[in-house]
């Protein structure tokens, strides 16, 4: 049994960059990836800003080697997962027990939407392959096949906490000596289905989102993928490069308050953070940075803020929502933000919460406004709180 799980590799693609280096550069330049819809054919063009990855499917196909008519969800996944595997550079990987635990919420819905464009016009038109195997698990299988992973694969879909739960499940597989290496995280692409659904909930902002601001109006949807390569102590000793950090704590809670809303008193958020701290053996005062779930909706930010006040009062660590850069990437956000958390430890950085102006009335703290270098970041908490009250917190720690 491995008592410690290490982060050996990172991979990410988002609206602010196609790899880890480009994402870091965008943070330092304080350049958000949110803008007008350009790739998705929708009635919301010029009305609802989103955070699109800046590559179309043809360009993603060239990078991945997959056909261009593969679901965008899988294309994004393979880009980030491949970068993470290459970054880890694990010697003799093929001889190790390796798994792929991937999360998503939309599956291949984009291919289904393409099918129905032709089908509604003529019932004899439309390519049936566009609606075959578009469930969430199919996305994982496509990418696992490309990565050559045969030992273990599974899919997690728990709304916005999906890929955080994938990471924490992967850690348990390693700790219980079922696997040596796990590529874990998640992916999601923008679709009409998702955009229309969130529009119906009336929680989209017509402007660029302002997480944790008193005058926030809602979220901006985004897309992307983020993966960590988690390894056992045994494998960590063979690495050519020092691991980024270790996954020291994790916890999932579910307050089951509402299908699409957090409990006003932040019960689920509080229990997730408290449980992760207990798992890690740390105190609230040990956390040097919180990557907030911070969607920009009235309910979510208030619930998360109240929970943080309850747990951390009176001393609050620096915190920010990186969704002010990437938008809310739904099933991918836990994975993407886990990558950002690991980078914060390795590089000693804190990310800014863009467009913040006014402190929320219900809390005595506010998020960081500027990109900070040279910080002593030993422990980072990353929050991912989903629909149905499914809340997960991860804690990453220096080695």
Report, as residue numbers or ranges, the catalytic residues. Answer: 160, 293, 328
DSSP category for residue 332: G
Which tokens belong to 351? 């990310």
Q: Would strands 319-320 and 289-291 be described as parallel, antiparallel, or unpaired?
A: parallel
| Helix intervals (H) in the chain | 20-29, 57-64, 72-88, 109-119, 136-147, 162-175, 192-200, 233-236, 267-280, 298-312, 323-326, 333-347
- Environment class of 133 (CB within 10 Å of its CB; exposed 0-12, middle 13-18, buried 19+): middle
Helix (H) or strand (E) holding 188: strand 181-188
Residue 357 near residue 186 (C-beta atoms within 8 A) = no
Count Cβ atoms below 10 Å from residue 237 Cβ, excluding itself: 9
Residue 5 near residue 171 (C-beta atoms within 8 A) = yes
Count Cβ atoms below 10 Å from residue 37 Cβ, excluding itself: 18
Residue 263 near residue 338 (C-beta atoms within 8 A) = no
Angle at 237 between CA 234 and CA 240, to 5 degrees: 135
In whole angstroms, what is the distance from residue 394 CA to residue 167 CA?
A: 9
DSSP track, 134-166: -SHHHHHHHHHHHHT--SEEEEE-BTBTHHHHH
SS3 assignment, position 230: strand
Which tokens belong to 34? 């949110």
In whole angstroms, what is the distance from residue 388 CA to residue 112 CA?
A: 26
């Amino acid at each position: 049994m491995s008592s410690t799980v290490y982060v050996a590799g990172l991979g990410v693609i988002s609206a602010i960059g196609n790899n880890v280096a480009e994402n870091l550069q965008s943070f330092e330049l304080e350049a958000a990836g949110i803008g007008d819809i350009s790739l998705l054919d929708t009635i919301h063009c010029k009305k609802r800003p989103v955070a699109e990855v800046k590559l179309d499917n043809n360009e993603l196909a060239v990078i991945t080697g997959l056909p261009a008519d593969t679901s965008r969800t899988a294309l994004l996944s393979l880009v980030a997962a491949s970068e993470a595997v290459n970054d880890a550079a694990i010697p003799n990987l093929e001889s190790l027990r390796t798994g792929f635990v991937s999360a998503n919420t939309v599956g291949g819905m984009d291919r289904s939407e393409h099918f129905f464009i032709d089908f509604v016009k003529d019932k004899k038109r439309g390519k049936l392959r566009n609606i075959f195997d578009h469930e969430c698990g199919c996305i994982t299988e496509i990418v696992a096949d490309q990565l050559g992973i045969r030992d273990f694969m599974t899919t997690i879909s728990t709304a916005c906490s999906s890929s955080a739960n994938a990471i924490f499940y992967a850690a348990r597989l390693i700790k219980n000596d079922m696997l040596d290496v796990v590529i874990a995280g998640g992916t999601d692409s923008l679709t009409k289905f998702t955009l229309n659904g969130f529009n119906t909930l009336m929680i989209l902002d017509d402007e660029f989102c302002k997480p944790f601001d008193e005058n926030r109006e809602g979220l901006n949807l985004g897309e992307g993928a983020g993966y960590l390569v988690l390894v056992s102590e045994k494998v960590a000793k063979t690495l050519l490069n020092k691991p980024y950090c270790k996954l020291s704590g994790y916890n999932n809670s579910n307050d089951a308050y509402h299908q699409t809303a957090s409990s006003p008193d932040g019960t689920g958020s509080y229990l997730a953070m408290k449980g992760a701290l207990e798992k890690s053996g740390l105190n609230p005062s040990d956390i040097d940075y919180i990557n907030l779930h911070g969607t920009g909706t009235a309910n979510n930010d208030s619930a998360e803020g109240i929970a943080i006040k309850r747990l951390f009062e009176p001393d609050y660590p620096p915190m920010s929502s990186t969704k002010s850069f990437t938008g809310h990437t739904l099933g991918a956000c836990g994975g993407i933000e886990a990558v950002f958390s690991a980078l914060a430890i390795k590089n000693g950085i804190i990310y800014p919460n863009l467009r913040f102006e006014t402190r929320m009335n219900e809390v005595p703290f506010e998020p960081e406004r500027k990109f900070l270098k040279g910080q002593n970041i030993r422990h980072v908490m990353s929050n991912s709180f989903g629909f149905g009250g499914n809340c997960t917190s991860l804690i990453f720690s220096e080695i």
